[in-house]
Structure 1
């Protein structure tokens, strides 16, 4: 099992110590660094900035939001970063949620699975560069028809004017729901789960197997399929002290992300058997009491989906993950904590 560093997104500014952590991870032999975006910092620019000082670590978006860019714009960014990094880029994308898509990007959220199919198909056509890119739609028609309101009817099919460094640049799909998870196995080169637990490994493998059974002929062999799971990590003098450090993080995702009717993060955690407790977390968060929301996050939930405690505690907890379908553990942590885990992560 490989290890990655999750650089995430930020609010006030770049996370303290992240640039140094990326350099450390590159030298220490970690597999990858992953970025994200919500409605502030973007996912591509930090990889170009921090990645310029690295030589071997993979650079990946985890995730770039589909609604932030057209499929062709995403393919352009992916090809550019792949060239600049010498073939070290991986494209992780996801549909995000209705609150962000409709509130920030001003686009409809309906039919996320159908949109994802179209989106990935267009990105692959751009990367293949076998012919000018056309797509029937309905979500991403290329070229746009002249009868569409505002269109002048002069669009023509185009082919990327650069040759991609790799036509088979890996595309990974972020998914939390069952249908989207199977879709990742069917059409993508990897799955980006969040709030996964070793206890649900059997269910995850079933969903992936259902998608693998539908894969089209000629696609990348499933033995190369990557499961890069984002896992929160906190280092402290004890397991419980580390659990307390992560409670606000989980409260934010359970109560502060999504809308009252659509919170995919809370739904993913609820499937672990904590639905009632998470409703309480969400209620406190909605009332503006973030402290009570964090306190209501069950310790058992944190232990199931995170790595917590001393370096020795974390080394012991990793044994459960090594038996799962996960191929890469992407660690969400204070980047300044990484050197203390050097022996655990590098086997030294």
Structure 2
């Protein structure tokens, strides 16, 4: 099992050194990859390029690059450029985000996310293969464009730059059963936001079509503390925010996933409290069992013991994040996992 460092997206300001120091530490400790994210603040590629310029061997992943943030060809251009500049270290993680972000921030329709994902991935792969001029019948990303306002002079183009790798790995962030099934069929890896090695049956059927070498790299919050309840608090706060507020009452994929994992009553209560402005109460309704299963929390000895369940799962990489991603924490994880 490999380790990846998930740096996420920035808050109000970027980290003092652009996360270069912690990325270098992870690289020196044998971490396989480092990942950045985007929401509606910083983009995902610029911080990754900054980190890539200050490292030499650690892989560079986007988890995730939002589909609606850029067209498929623009995304492929960024990926092939970063792959060249990093000497083949790029992993392209993609995801649809949610309707609030897609329609509220990017000003695009959210409809048919599975079909959009298929088209998007197909176009990106066409660019990376560079076998012929890139074209797509659409309807979501037609190339060349012939719709309203078109001049009629557009033609399929082949990328000027020869991509370094035609098989640059593409991972997908997916939560719903149909989305996970499609990910297993068309992608090289899967980026689950919540994964419990104690409930492998939740995704077992969806992963049956995965090809040999298919990677599974879940986000795993890590908090080492002798007090288990204290260690789980950051995870509960995160879960309350995502399940309660990261999406509308009708469209919240994180809440739906928690329901499928066996905590429907609690998920409904979390959302009810959060949307009513009672965030502290929402945190109290996050089940300790759920927060514990999807994280590595508590004393070092307990984390070492619970790692066995992850080793016995299909997971290939742990993408770690947490409230204290310092050298001591990374060194402990490298000792326990690697």
Short-chain TM bin: over 0.9
2:202·2:260 contact (CA, 8 Å) conserved in 1? no
1:156 counterpart = 2:145: no
For residues 338 and 307 of structure 1, the distance between their equivalents in structure 2, rounded to whole angstroms, comes to: 17
Q: Secondary structure of 1:8's partner?
A: coil
1:12 counterpart = 2:12: yes
The match for 2:136 is 135
For residues 173 and 258 of structure 1, the distance between their equivalents in structure 2, rounded to whole angstroms, comes to: 19
For residues 72 and 204 of structure 2, the distance between their equivalents in structure 1, rounded to whole angstroms, comes to: 29
The match for 1:37 is 38
1:264 counterpart = 2:264: no
Any stretches of 5+ residues in structure 1 without a counterpart? 213-221
1:207 counterpart = 2:206: yes
For residues 202 and 328 of structure 1, the distance between their equivalents in structure 2, rounded to whole angstroms, comes to: 19
> 1:177-226: per-residue Cα shift (whole Å, max 9, x none)?
111101011011111111111122134232111x33xxxxxxxxx22111
Q: Secondary structure of 2:273's partner?
A: helix
Using the TM superposition, give the Cα deviation of residue 41 of structure 1 relative to its aligned residue in structure 2, in angstroms.
Answer: 1.2
Q: Could you tell which deviates more after superposition, 291-300 or 68-77?
A: 291-300
For residues 346 and 55 of structure 1, the distance between their equivalents in structure 2, rounded to whole angstroms, comes to: 22
Using the TM superposition, give the Cα deviation of residue 337 of structure 1 relative to its aligned residue in structure 2, in angstroms.
Answer: 3.8
Q: Could you tell which deviates more after superposition, 306-315 or 172-181?
A: 306-315
For residues 123 and 234 of structure 1, the distance between their equivalents in structure 2, rounded to whole angstroms, comes to: 37
For residues 230 and 15 of structure 2, the distance between their equivalents in structure 1, rounded to whole angstroms, comes to: 22
The match for 1:345 is 334
1:254 counterpart = 2:255: no
2:22·2:326 contact (CA, 8 Å) conserved in 1? no
Given candidates 307, 324, 344, the residue that maps to 2:313 is: 324
Using the TM superposition, give the Cα deviation of residue 261 of structure 1 relative to its aligned residue in structure 2, in angstroms.
Answer: 0.5
2:26·2:330 contact (CA, 8 Å) conserved in 1? no
1:72·1:122 contact (CA, 8 Å) conserved in 2? yes
1:21·1:335 contact (CA, 8 Å) conserved in 2? no
Any stretches of 5+ residues in structure 2 without a counterpart? none
For residues 237 and 268 of structure 2, the distance between their equivalents in structure 1, rounded to whole angstroms, comes to: 15
1:194 counterpart = 2:193: yes
Using the TM superposition, give the Cα deviation of residue 16 of structure 1 relative to its aligned residue in structure 2, in angstroms.
Answer: 6.3
1:311·1:341 contact (CA, 8 Å) conserved in 2? no
- The runs of at least 4 consecutive aligned structure 1 residues that moved more than 4 Å come to none
TM-score by length of 2: 0.96
- 1:201-240 alignment runs, 5 A limit: 201-209=200-208, 211-212=209-210, 222-240=211-229
For residues 93 and 306 of structure 1, the distance between their equivalents in structure 2, rounded to whole angstroms, comes to: 23
The match for 1:92 is 93
For residues 204 and 123 of structure 2, the distance between their equivalents in structure 1, rounded to whole angstroms, comes to: 28
1:205·1:325 contact (CA, 8 Å) conserved in 2? no
1:170 counterpart = 2:169: yes
> 1:142-198: per-residue Cα shift (whole Å, max 9, x none)?
0011xx221111111110000001010000111111111010110111111111111
The match for 1:179 is 178
For residues 272 and 15 of structure 2, the distance between their equivalents in structure 1, rounded to whole angstroms, comes to: 29
Using the TM superposition, give the Cα deviation of residue 256 of structure 1 relative to its aligned residue in structure 2, in angstroms.
Answer: 1.2
Q: Secondary structure of 1:152's partner?
A: coil
The match for 1:111 is 112
Using the TM superposition, give the Cα deviation of residue 233 of structure 1 relative to its aligned residue in structure 2, in angstroms.
Answer: 1.6
Given candidates 308, 315, 318, the residue that maps to 2:304 is: 315
Aligned pair count? 336
1:64·1:94 contact (CA, 8 Å) conserved in 2? yes
